[in-house]
Structure 1
Amino acid sequence: MTAFGTTVEELATDVVLPAGDGPFPAVLIRTPYDRTRHRAEALGWARRGFAAVAQDVRGRFASPGEWHPYANEATDGAAAVRWIRRQPWSDGRLVAAGASYAAHCALVLALDAPGDARPDAVLAAVPALGPAETAREASGVERLLSRAGWWAAHGDRPDSDESALDKALAADPGLLTHLPLTGLPERLGRSLPSWAGLWRHRERGHLIARAAHSAVPLLAVGGHHDHFTEDTIALWHTWGGPSARLLLGPWGHGLGSTPGPDARPVHRVNLGELYVRWARRALTGGLAPGRHGVQALGGADLWLPAGTNGEPRLRRPRLLHGAAFTADPERPVRSDVLAVPAAGPPDRCLLVTPPLPRPLDVVGPVSVHLRATAHTPSADWAARLVALTPEGVAERLAVGIVRREERAGREAPFAVGLGRLARRLRAGTRLRLEIAGHHFPAHARNPHTGDDPVTAVTLHPSRREIDPDSLVLSLPVLPSRPTPVDPAEEILR
């Protein structure tokens, strides 16, 4: 086994070769997070017969140039693929692989690079599809905390400081409350010119639209607790290549290293071994055509086929208080606190279901339908679903947020999608539903004036009324106990 460093079109690149004479199939990982962090992964690929190539993207770590997120990855990646295929140790076959931003690098190679520079297969884990997808919800609401953390750690700098935002928040706990939000770089004490430009990206779906015309196999990997879950599923569902596989576990953005509270022993998967086995089959045409895959059922020791969805069941939770409340951006409902204030004027509408008489398997998209009024021209409506276990523990299940702009004081019907659930709820569990005007700091505060929340300097409270008789919670419930499947068999068939 041989390891050495070189440059590909002047970008810092490490190569790890298997033992033997070759030639070998290759795996390319292009990352802004330091190629040297992938040495153990590269060694693992090489031990299994793949030439592993890890590259710092332009302007990051040891690679020269200027770092412009999402701007140069198709061009630079194409140069790397052509270089690999010219090497005597390459047999020409190549898998583009990566997680998060590195998954974006892999995907644009398959979808945007010229034919001679395209990979033969793509492995995309928790894919960050583009600036608009990462910065905003599908409804347009700004993802403040995650983007502030990412830009503070990685933006406009050649290296990374993963704890940059945490250190800044320790020094100033109200850091993200200062207005305008475009002034965050000054409060962080460093130059961050791309921060303001991030929020000008509003159009989503460019990669998803092009995925329909893809021509290579895909393995999409995600987690039910990841903020890119919906994008991962959409990528798999839209992929037009000869085969598409989906692996969705009860994990956060770090996959198996960040299990959710509903993860069970059966959900521990050796991802590295599964990736290698899938890559071998993808490069030899050994995968059955079509879309297949698995999703974990959280709270239960089993996996389900990826396409499993429950039947919508409508529930009308009982109103506790807050049919009329005030969404005050100076005192927003916090995304990082599940406790509900017991005293004072209501800051949200709070509803609860009776205890479940039997276990419930909820698999599929969750939504809330209601009629409500906001007395401001712009209003965000955040819906949070929480499980109250028989032991009295509150567990976040799902969150959704939409922005509505209409005549102040006009009652209107609408729905809030809360994303997908794949969770077994125990008997005795109650479901608490909160309808609020903010979900901060995960999301930026709506100033309620119609101004852009990123550039606004003035905040106003917004009086809200909800018709409790109109409110319906739609849960996708499996009608019977599901039959489990083996994740490796579904991914590799």
Structure 2
Amino acid sequence: MTPPRDARPHVCLADDGIALRGWIWEPAVPRGVVVLRTPYGAWRQGDTARSWARRGYRCLVQDVRGRHASDGEWNPYLAERDDGRAVVEAIRAESRGLPLVLSGGSYDAHAALEAAREIEVEALVLMVPALGLSETAWDADGRPQLYHRIGWWHQHGRGPRSHTPLTEEQLVGRVAHAAEVGVHRAAEEWGWAPTVLAGWRRLWAAPPLDLPRAYGAIDAPLLLVRGDDDFFHDDAGRLAASWSGDVHLVDGPWGHRLGADIADDEVRARLRDSGGIGGVLDAWLAHAGLPSGVDTVRHRVPAGHRSRSAFDPLTGRWQHERTA
């Protein structure tokens, strides 16, 4: 790990005394705060943090418990609620009077949602959320997502550091093997440690989240980005439907890696020329009365409890509409 030169280290203690570490990117004059908690390496989120800093936000990117610089044991999807609350309380005390936004994509979105269950924040900005264990294990039709789960747990689910990803040939072979002998026996034969196997068993046995019960009481405004080709697309829709506060959906022809998953160079160029997802984010922040980092915004997000922005890959234009 090479520490980012334009950020300062940050340490927060969880309720049990575990040190949770990250980095803070600081604008010249902070007008808001963003907290992003991730298992993928806080220093890797520098570009995202800098984009928030340009908007006037003090941005904390923190390694979750048991990953990279943070202490403790890594158990995916188990510790983010209490740890997230402790972190938000700590950063609020350091940034009194500033609005606080929770943000993140994929697993980071789960961490943000869990923190929001415990402590009030001004807004959430979530992308392609991996909502929970069951939601990542099974698709909308109840089929096991072996390809994505085997790949993720091999790379990110085993210990404090990520491993080299499987090659396509290796991953396809493991998927076929798990389909033949079962997910548990296959993982045992791959030589995974007992603690990892325990988490793997927990993944496949976890019940689906009751989204209204889990997140229905959160009334903070939500910007929710989902992708037409993302394997968590339907889960994002269910989250939006269960949200009690204002929610703005952002739809487009991307997958789990957002614009990086758009194979067509011309479509990527149209998305960039349109201002991209960041342009809609700026409009939404301004509409919500939060710092947006720009004096004028390119888009006009409609007022309403539920609204949507959809990118047309053929015309390169955004359509903004109120849906409820």
* TM-score normalised by L of structure 2: 0.82
- Partner residue of 1:145? 147
State the 1:65 CA deviation: 0.6
Structure 1 position 219 matched with structure 2 position 223: yes
Q: Residues 90 and 51 of structure 1: is their aligned pair in 2 closer, same or farther, counting only changes over 3 Å?
A: farther
Letter paired with 1:152: H
- Partner residue of 1:99? 105
Distance in 1 separating the partners of 2:286 and 2:320: 22
Q: Residues 290 and 174 of structure 1: is their aligned pair in 2 closer, same or farther, counting only changes over 3 Å?
A: closer
Q: Residues 218 and 199 of structure 1: is their aligned pair in 2 closer, same or farther, counting only changes over 3 Å?
A: same
State the 1:298 CA deviation: 4.9
Residues 381-436 of structure 1 deviation map (CA, whole Å, 9 limit, x = unaligned): xxxxxxxxxxxxxxxxxxxxxxxxxxxxxxxxxxxxxxxxxxxxxxxxxxxxxxxx
Letter paired with 1:232: A
Q: Residues 36 and 287 of structure 1: is their aligned pair in 2 closer, same or farther, counting only changes over 3 Å?
A: farther
Gap runs ≥5 in structure 1: 309-493
Structure 1 position 40 matched with structure 2 position 44: no
- Partner residue of 2:71? 64
Tell me which of 233, 250, 254 is aligned to 1:251: 254
Residues 5 and 12 in structure 1, CA contact (< 8 A), matched pair in contact too: yes
Letter paired with 1:48: R
Residues 292-344 of structure 1 deviation map (CA, whole Å, 9 limit, x = unaligned): 11223455544445678xxxxxxxxxxxxxxxxxxxxxxxxxxxxxxxxxxxx
Structure 1 position 15 matched with structure 2 position 24: yes
Tell me which of 119, 125, 128 is aligned to 1:126: 128
State the 1:189 CA deviation: 3.4
Distance in 2 separating the partners of 1:72 and 1:211: 16
Q: Residues 212 and 196 of structure 1: is their aligned pair in 2 closer, same or farther, counting only changes over 3 Å?
A: closer
Taking only aligned residues, the RMSD between alpha carbons, in angstroms, comes to 2.8
- Partner residue of 1:289? 304
SS of 2:37's partner is: strand
Letter paired with 2:28: A
State the 1:172 CA deviation: 7.2
Distance in 2 separating the partners of 1:173 and 1:244: 37
Residues 434-478 of structure 1 deviation map (CA, whole Å, 9 limit, x = unaligned): xxxxxxxxxxxxxxxxxxxxxxxxxxxxxxxxxxxxxxxxxxxxx
**Equivalences for residues 127-276 of structure 1 within 5 A:** 127-164=129-166, 166=168, 168-169=170-171, 175-191=177-193, 192-193=196-197, 194-201=199-206, 203-241=207-245, 243-259=246-262, 264=267, 265-268=269-272, 269-276=275-282
SS of 2:226's partner is: strand
State the 1:261 CA deviation: 5.6
Gap runs ≥5 in structure 2: 14-18, 292-300
Residues 15-74 of structure 1 deviation map (CA, whole Å, 9 limit, x = unaligned): 111114x5x310000011111111122122112211000000001111111111111111
Residues 230-259 of structure 1 deviation map (CA, whole Å, 9 limit, x = unaligned): 111222233211x21111110010011111
Distance in 2 separating the partners of 1:306 and 1:195: 41
Residues 113-137 of structure 1 deviation map (CA, whole Å, 9 limit, x = unaligned): 1xxx322100110011111111112
Distance in 2 separating the partners of 1:244 and 1:262: 31
Residues 4 and 14 in structure 1, CA contact (< 8 A), matched pair in contact too: yes
Which structure has the highest helix share of the two? 2
Residues 121 and 279 in structure 1, CA contact (< 8 A), matched pair in contact too: no
Distance in 2 separating the partners of 1:147 and 1:73: 20
* % identical aligned pairs: 34
SS of 1:70's partner is: coil
Residues 168 and 175 in structure 1, CA contact (< 8 A), matched pair in contact too: no
- Partner residue of 1:54? 61
* TM-score normalised by L of structure 1: 0.55
Q: Is the radius of gyration larger for structure 1 or structure 2? A: 1
- Partner residue of 2:295? none
Matched residues, number: 299
Residues 140 and 234 in structure 2, CA contact (< 8 A), matched pair in contact too: no
